[in-house]
Chains A and B, each alone.
Chain A
C-alpha cells in the first residue's frame, strides 16, 4: 500500500504505508504529531527529516547520534523503551535563527525508533543524566 503526502520541505512524497512510524503518544508540546516517515536531507548524511503525515509543515530535523557522537550511550535511551537493541536513537535538532551553524541537539530527550514489527517510536527522557537539552552541534574554527 502506498500513500501520498506533501511536505513543505521535501515536496510530494510517495510513502509505503509500512514505513510510517507511529508515535502514538505524540510529543510533549506537539501532541498531534503522531505519524511520520524518515528521509535523508541533502545537507549532510547524518541529518534526517522526520516528516509528519498530517501537515506538510510538520517536520523535525534529526541527528543520527551514533554517526557523530560515538561517546553517547545509545543503550541508555533504548533501555527506556522495550524496543530492543536494534532500535535507532536519533536526536531532535533545533536551528535557532535559521542558522545551521547555531544548531543544537536535544540529547536529554532523544527519539527511539523500532523498525519492526510495525515501525513505532517515542521520545524518551534520560532522567538523572547530565545530557544537555541543547548541545551545540558545531564549533566554529577560531580565525587564524
Chain B
C-alpha cells in the first residue's frame, strides 16, 4: 500500500480524474473531500459492505411469493412518519445498520 503524508488543504490525484483533498483533521477524524467523475461511486467502506450484504440477502426472495396468501388486513404499513432523514455531518447521524436504526426511528 502506498502511504503519503499530506497537510490540511493539500491534495492527491488518483489518475487524471480523481482528486482527494484533506479538509480537516480533528482528533482522530480526518475529513476528506473527493472529486470524481459521476460514474465513479464513492462509499464509506462499512456502508459498501452493508449494501453488498443487503443486496445479497434481497436476491433470495422465495420463488413462491406470488402464491402466498395475498396481503390482507392483518398487515398494515408501518407509518411513514417513522421515516425521517437528516442531512448533516456524519458524526451527528445515527448508525445506519439494520434493526437498531429502524427501531430508533420508531421510538422518535
Contacts and interface: CB of A to CB of B under 8 A. Distances in A.
Nearest to A68: B77
Contacts of B62: 95, 98
A58 B54 CA distance: 15
B86 A130 contact: yes
A44 B105 contact: no
Contact of B83 (A72, A94, A104, A138): A72
B66 A101 contact: no
Contacts of B65: 9, 41, 43, 61, 95, 100
A9 B51 contact: no
B51 A109 contact: yes
Interface residues of B, number: 52
A128 B93 contact: yes
A140 interface: yes
A69 B74 contact: no
Nearest to B98: A134
Contact of A134 (B54, B68, B70, B75): B54
Contacts of A4: none
B6 interface: no
A73 B76 CA distance: 21
Contacts of B41: 25, 125
User: By CB atoms of chain A within 10 A, which of B52, B62, B88 has the most?
Assistant: B62
B101 A132 contact: yes
Given A43-B71, A134-B54, A141-B74, A129 B87 contact: yes
Interface of A: 8-9, 25, 27-30, 33, 41-44, 57-61, 68-73, 76, 82, 92-96, 98, 100-101, 104, 106-109, 123, 125-141
